[in-house]
């Protein structure tokens, strides 16, 4: 069984490897965990001995198959608890991270399972990030045009229908990129335009044309 510290390192390594799409450096881990590179070296060695990460001295580290599964369980718990905090206890979505950091370490598979059920098997957390399933799989939902998304829903921008540069420039100008999470605030049926909220909290208007060309997930 992993200690809290080991779990935190594993999660950090997983997240960094997702972001960089490559092996993770000691300094990067030290940075996100607010600790010293020397401590990171020690811990990596331990996680490597236990088979949770693949590691060669000076060459960086990454999660092993076993480590990824473990990391995704922790992330699953983190995101389920975030849903609980926001949906049931009415925290704001920007208040829940630190509490979920604590709750994610609670060890009881049955608890996780029952919590998932209680919450209605949510597929994304309040930040729009997907919740891995019990097997550690992240099911990426189908891409649909933003224009088909009902009001109040939070979605992740995952593609464009029509990728000509004029459209991409426009997205850039209004601060939307792949990976941006937006919330549909209002749909205007008469002209197909929408109001959406950006991660910056800013609410912007977008035309029917834009809404039909933006593909979003969940």
Partner DNA sequence: AAATATTTTTAGATTAATCTAAATATGCTT
Partner DNA sequence: AAGCATATTTAGATTAATCTAAAAATATTT
The runs of H, that is alpha helices, within the chain are 4-20, 26-32, 37-49, 65-83, 97-103, 109-118, 165-173, 208-213
- Ordered DSSP codes for 41-63: HHHHHHHHHTTSEEE-TTS-EEE
Q: How far is the CB of 16 from DNA (least distance, A)?
A: 11
- Nearest 10 degrees: Cα torsion 169, 172, 177, 183: -120
Distance, CA of 54 to CA of 21 (rounded, Å): 15
Which residue among 10, 13, 16, 43 contacts DNA (CB under 7 A)? 43
Which residue among 30, 32, 33, 99 contacts its own copies (CB under 8 A)? 99
107 binds, among DNA, its own copies, none (CB under 5 to 8 A by kind): its own copies
Query: Which residues, numbered 105-164, are part of the site for its own copies (CB under 8 A)?
Result: 106-108, 110-111, 114-115, 118
74 binds, among DNA, its own copies, none (CB under 5 to 8 A by kind): none
Measured in whole angstroms, the distance separating CA 208 from the mean position of its chain's CA atoms is 28
Which residue among 20, 42, 148, 162 contacts DNA (CB under 7 A)? 42
Which residue among 18, 22, 27, 188 contacts DNA (CB under 7 A)? 27
91 binds, among DNA, its own copies, none (CB under 5 to 8 A by kind): its own copies
CB 32 within 8 A of CB 19: no
Note whether 6 binds DNA by CB under 7 A: yes
Note whether 22 binds DNA by CB under 7 A: no
Note whether 19 binds its own copies by CB under 8 A: no
Nearer to DNA, 42 or 94 (CB): 42
Q: What are 57's two structure tokens?
A: 């001295």
φ, ψ at 114 (rounded to 5°): -70, -35
Sign of the torsion angle spanned by Cα atoms 110, 113, 116, 117: negative
Long-range contacts of 201-210 (CB under 8 A, 24+ apart): 202/175, 204/174, 206/146, 206/174, 208/147, 210/146, 210/167, 210/170, 210/171
31 binds, among DNA, its own copies, none (CB under 5 to 8 A by kind): none
* Total number of residues that touch DNA (CB under 7 A): 26
Which residue among 39, 133, 193, 209 contacts DNA (CB under 7 A)? 39
Binding site for its own copies (CB under 8 A): 85, 88-91, 98-99, 102-103, 106-108, 110-111, 114-115, 118
Binding site for DNA (CB under 7 A): 3-6, 9, 25-28, 35-46, 55, 57-60
């Amino acid at each position: 069984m992993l200690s809290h510290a080991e779990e935190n390192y594993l999660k950090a390594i997983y997240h960094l490897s997702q972001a960089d799409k490559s092996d993770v450096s000691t300094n990067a881990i030290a940075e996100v965990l607010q600790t010293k590179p020397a401590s990171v070296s020690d811990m990596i060695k331990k996680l490597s001995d236990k088979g949770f990460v693949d590691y060669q001295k000076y060459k960086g580290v990454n999660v092993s198959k076993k480590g990824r599964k473990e990391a995704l369980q922790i992330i699953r718990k983190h995101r389920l608890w975030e849903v609980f905090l926001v949906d049931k206890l009415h925290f704001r979505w920007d208040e829940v991270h630190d509490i979920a950091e604590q709750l994610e370490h609670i060890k009881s598979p049955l608890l996780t399972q029952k919590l998932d059920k209680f919450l209605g098997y949510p597929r994304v957390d309040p930040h729009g990030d997907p919740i891995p399933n019990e097997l550690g799989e992240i099911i990426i939902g189908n891409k649909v045009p933003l224009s088909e998304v009902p009001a109040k829903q939070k979605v992740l921008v995952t593609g464009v229908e029509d990728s000509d540069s004029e459209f991409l420039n426009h997205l850039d100008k209004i601060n939307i990129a792949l990976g941006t999470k937006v919330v549909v605030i209002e749909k205007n049926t008469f002209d197909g335009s929408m109001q959406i909220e950006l991660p910056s909290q800013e609410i912007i208007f977008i035309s029917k044309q834009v809404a039909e060309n933006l593909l979003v997930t969940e």
